[in-house]
Structure 1
Amino acid sequence: MRDLVAETGADTVIWNRLYVADERARDTEVKEALRHDGLAARSFHAHVLFEPWTVETKTGGFYKVYTPFWKSVRDRDVGSALTAPSAVKAPVEWPASDDLADWDLGRAMRRGADVVAEHVHVGEKAAQARLGAFIAHRIDDYAEARDALAVDGTSGLSENLTYGEISARSCWWAGQRAMDDGKRGADTFLKEIVWRDFAHHLAYHTPRLTTENWKSDWDAFPWRGDNSDAEAWRRGCTGLDVVDAAMREVYVTGRMHNRARMLTGSYLTKHLMTDWKVGCDWFADVLIDWDPASNAMGWQWVAGSGPDASPFFRIFNPETQAEKFDKAGRYRDRWLSSKDFFEAIPRSWELDPGSARPSAPIVGLSEGRTRALEAYKQRDAG
């Protein structure tokens, strides 16, 4: 950055603020260094609707439960989305620039990069087109369709929000207009935008959210570290169709249906008794829409250790969930038969279309549920 400042003669550096602890530490260090160099360094509010320190309970603390958080902000003025500048004055001489292809940013993905590239929608124009199509054609059914595994029922904007290609404010106002137009799913969509804010609110006020059990009494729970069952889970080889389909979906597309995230997370943390951080780290590796606050809160919610969490005894049954949300089996059929999965995965996995998945779950649903509940009782007894 200092080299770029010197090359361009810039006197000001600006960026959008972030709220997770290591992001804040990095940005603080950068700001101090730039100011030491005599530059103006300024950060702005754009990544979330409401900055974490602006939302307080009546007693002056931060919210730990989503519903009161939602009620406190739903009628707030978030401000209008700013229009793009009509013109940007070009410099007399453009700085030298690299060819982005030479950076080979997908190097670590190797052959998988070409597979995933078919499924990404990069840039501001793609994000705005996505939002427009969602509002026009899908938001009316959003409350129900977002849980249907084989249906394209969501906005799909998570990757664009992650990289700042569209703002939460733009999504909010589009949802508000849809609500004014009587679109049934608009209220649910607005709540999901605020759920994302809630994750960053908690990550700011309780930095342990992204790295430790949010509820410290879970530190005594006998979750396993990484293990061979978790490796089978990563490879989509658990023997449970909907879990394996979801784990294959993410390797092909870089994304995973939200209902499927709940099912895969529940199976890993409860039936396989594996620490939620193992799953969270894996998602950080393979998701293109990975967000440190949202993903950590999602994992801790399903594991039972987090804020506003699903009770531990709420153990999803993947088979009954699949029958409910993928009744015709189209989601499972699509991803279990995907040849692209075998093109995207590491060769070291030694899997090919002829490789047989386990004929039965590596940990049975009844067996895993009983074991998890017994461990939960023992934790409380201790």
Structure 2
Amino acid sequence: MTNSPIILWFRRDLRLTDHEALSAAVRTGRPIIPVFIRDPLLDELGAAAKLRMGLGIEHFGAELAKQGSKLILRSGDALTVLRKLIGETGAGAVYWSRLYDPANKTRDIQIKAALKDNGVEVQSFTGQLLFEPWTVETKTGGFYKVFTPMWKTVRDRALPMTLPAPGTMPTPADWPRSENLNDWKMAAPMQRGAEILTQYCVVGELAARDRLDEFLEDKIDSYVKNRDIPGVDGTSGLSENLTYGEISPRQCWHAGWQALHNGKSGAETFLRELVWREFAYHLAHHTPHLLTGNWKSEWDSFPWNKEENHKVEAWKQGRTGVPFVDAAMRELYVTGVMHNRGRMIVASYLTKHLLTDWKIGLNWFADCLIDWDPCSNAMGWQWAAGSGPDAAPYFRVFNPVSQLDKFDPKRSYADRWIAEGKKQPTETARSYFDMVPKHWGLSVSDDYPAPIVDIKDGRERALHAYKTR
């Protein structure tokens, strides 16, 4: 089997640089068959994430073609697909980059065991994280439940340098059949909003590296301040590309450390944000219920509203009558991303002012985010609700009015996304009405709504509920 092909199963690692599984496969000298599988877990993606994944697959396939290779597309149960490909090609090995969320991890463990039982060589490699969850422990051998101690533990940990992209990829004499990406209709769930959303996607490995370079050159010095100002393009934007593995966290880590050594003032905060992402996966590995239920069980009896009522609908549509909330929700719908300050505001508003179950917000974000990440999304929502690790204390109820005064005093962010009542609304504000489902019945000429809850009354109601839970 020494000359048999290796099936290289790509998932959320759509790049050539710093790709351990790819580099290991190339070192063998054996033919490599790159494969992407549309399995049930991929089909479960929300509308925006599915569109963005389709763009990533298309772009990566084109990059492989430049290398003289191909990306073979197949649909179905992943184990069944892999077994069929092994039979068709005579492949003796399957390599992949590890995923760490509970659903993918469970699937991969089962596949690895089944293929090994069939006599197939299976190897998995790191790639999605800096520090695999089981390699980070407290002094007593447990896992971290608070972020800052974990940050202090990993901050100075040495990591291997990034791997170069291979110069060539050995190819098989005969290629197996590939499905057509167009037949997968990855953008279909976005319906009429697909064309607008696509304009905001920054796709591919080269674009991701350019994003990192631009951030380090122009933005990192002011990152600590500007990362909180939604009207300023002050962040790296790399969460989108990290989600699809178009850049590795290790590339970002080493670049961040180099910036720190060069005296860039915001570099350490950038590095902490990379570890915050790691913290989410660390917790999901050790406490997988983070993704599906209250991390703190004492919150199970909290009287959340669990219904899709008119207030929840107004929140989803960006029609709460609270400009900061509405602007952020519209930014999410149009661009597939939301400024981090906005994420905190809209999550606090839903879970506290509206006393609505955080899982309703989590599911809406899963449908709307192009940078959707199961672990980070869940941890962020539970942080805001108070039910999770490192949670915001119950008495921290963000006031979306004063927050707008503080972080958007000239209303540049609000004006960018809210059209109603404006003589000349911005193109971005108008685009929201071109994207939303027609059955919502929204028009740019509508009056801006009155607040669905009084901010002060909502806060007092939330504090009472939290104190007496």
Q: TM over 0.5, yes or no?
A: yes
**Aligned equivalent of 1:222:** 303
Q: For 1:272 and 1:161, locate their aligned partners in 2 and report how far apart those are by CA, in whole Å.
A: 32
Q: Give 1:1-382 correspondences, 5 Å limit.
A: 1=81, 2-226=83-307, 227-337=309-419, 338-359=429-450, 361-379=451-469
- Give, in angstroms, the shift of residue 6 of structure 1: 3.0
State the Cα deviation string for residues 97-122 of structure 1 (Å, max 9, x = none): 33322322111111111110000011
Structure 1: 5+ residue runs without aligned partners? Answer: none
Return the letter of the residue paired with 2:468. Answer: Q
State the Cα deviation string for residues 4-25 of structure 1 (Å, max 9, x = none): 3333332211112122222211
CA contact (8 A) 1:52 1:204 kept: yes
Return the letter of the residue paired with 1:354. Answer: S
Q: For 2:410 and 2:378, locate their aligned partners in 1 and report how far apart those are by CA, in whole Å.
A: 32
CA contact (8 A) 1:276 1:300 kept: yes
**Aligned equivalent of 2:61:** none
- Give, in angstroms, the shift of residue 366 of structure 1: 0.4
SS of aligned partner of 1:41: strand
Q: For 1:301 and 1:180, locate their aligned partners in 2 and report how far apart those are by CA, in whole Å.
A: 32
Q: For 2:162 and 2:440, locate their aligned partners in 1 and report how far apart those are by CA, in whole Å.
A: 46
CA contact (8 A) 1:238 1:357 kept: no
SS of aligned partner of 2:124: strand
- Give, in angstroms, the shift of residue 63 of structure 1: 0.6
Q: For 1:259 and 1:340, locate their aligned partners in 2 and report how far apart those are by CA, in whole Å.
A: 22
SS of aligned partner of 1:348: helix
SS of aligned partner of 1:43: strand
TM-score normalized by the length of structure 1: 0.96
- Give, in angstroms, the shift of residue 264 of structure 1: 0.2
CA contact (8 A) 1:283 1:290 kept: yes
Q: For 1:5 and 1:104, locate their aligned partners in 2 and report how far apart those are by CA, in whole Å.
A: 26
State the Cα deviation string for residues 49-91 of structure 1 (Å, max 9, x = none): 1111111111111010000000000000121111111111222
Q: For 1:373 and 1:42, locate their aligned partners in 2 and report how far apart those are by CA, in whole Å.
A: 51
Q: For 2:408 and 2:284, locate their aligned partners in 1 and report how far apart those are by CA, in whole Å.
A: 33
- Give, in angstroms, the shift of residue 231 of structure 1: 1.1
Return the letter of the residue paired with 2:370. Answer: I
Q: For 1:330 and 1:186, locate their aligned partners in 2 and report how far apart those are by CA, in whole Å.
A: 27
SS of aligned partner of 1:220: coil
Q: For 1:108 and 1:29, locate their aligned partners in 2 and report how far apart those are by CA, in whole Å.
A: 30
Return the letter of the residue paired with 2:437. Answer: P
Percent identity for Structure 1 against Structure 2: 57
Q: For 1:155 and 1:202, locate their aligned partners in 2 and report how far apart those are by CA, in whole Å.
A: 24
SS of aligned partner of 1:191: helix
Q: For 1:343 and 1:33, locate their aligned partners in 2 and report how far apart those are by CA, in whole Å.
A: 48
Return the letter of the residue paired with 2:202. Answer: H
Deviates more, 1:128-137 or 1:100-109: 100-109
CA contact (8 A) 1:11 1:40 kept: yes
- Give, in angstroms, the shift of residue 151 of structure 1: 0.6
Q: For 2:300 and 2:185, locate their aligned partners in 1 and report how far apart those are by CA, in whole Å.
A: 41
**Aligned equivalent of 2:3:** none
Q: For 2:118 and 2:431, locate their aligned partners in 1 and report how far apart those are by CA, in whole Å.
A: 50
Q: For 2:155 and 2:274, locate their aligned partners in 1 and report how far apart those are by CA, in whole Å.
A: 11
Deviates more, 1:210-219 or 1:30-39: 30-39
Q: For 1:373 and 1:132, locate their aligned partners in 2 and report how far apart those are by CA, in whole Å.
A: 44
SS of aligned partner of 1:101: helix
- Give, in angstroms, the shift of residue 32 of structure 1: 2.3
Deviates more, 1:225-234 or 1:297-306: 225-234
TM-score normalized by the length of structure 2: 0.79
Return the letter of the residue paired with 1:373. Answer: L
Return the letter of the residue paired with 1:375. Answer: A
Q: For 2:85 and 2:311, locate their aligned partners in 1 and report how far apart those are by CA, in whole Å.
A: 47
- Give, in angstroms, the shift of residue 346 of structure 1: 1.3
Return the letter of the residue paired with 1:378. Answer: T
Q: For 2:248 and 2:370, locate their aligned partners in 1 and report how far apart those are by CA, in whole Å.
A: 17
SS of aligned partner of 2:300: helix
**Aligned equivalent of 2:8:** none
Please provide the CA RMSD for this pair. 1.2
